[in-house]
Amino acid sequence: MGIGGISVWQLVIILLIVVLLFGTKKLRNIGGDLGSAVKNFRGAMRDGEKEQNAEKMTEEQQKLADNKKPDDDASQAIDAKVTHKETQKS
């Protein structure tokens, strides 16, 4: 038994009929067209993933920039230095 109850000989006969109807040149062209279509589809999927990753990175960077307050960081650094100098004087 072959695939779905079809024997190997039945598959060979179906293949021969398809080759006789369409010819080897047309089947070769169809195979090439199908291969290039799959290749283009994969390339488009990769490009879409790259764009999504770039958008996510941009959004994350924007969120980090929005959350960070430069005045708070500067005042904390200055306070730490002043506190440190005062402890050395004592």
Task: Count Cβ atoms below 10 Å from residue 27 Cβ, excluding itself.
Answer: 14
Pairwise CA distance, residues 49 & 19, whole Å: 39
Looking at every residue in the chain, the average pLDDT score rounds to 79
Using the structure block, give the residue that is written with the tokens 């306070």: 79
Q: Which DSSP state fits 78?
A: H
Rg (CA), the chain: 34
Give percent helix, percent strand, percent coil of the chain, each to the nearest 5. 90, 0, 10
Predicted confidence (pLDDT) per residue in 30-74, tens digit = 889 999 999 999 999 999 888 888 888 888 888 887 777 555 555
Instruction: Tell whether pTM > 0.85.
Output: no
C-alpha closest to that of 66 among 74, 58, 55: 58
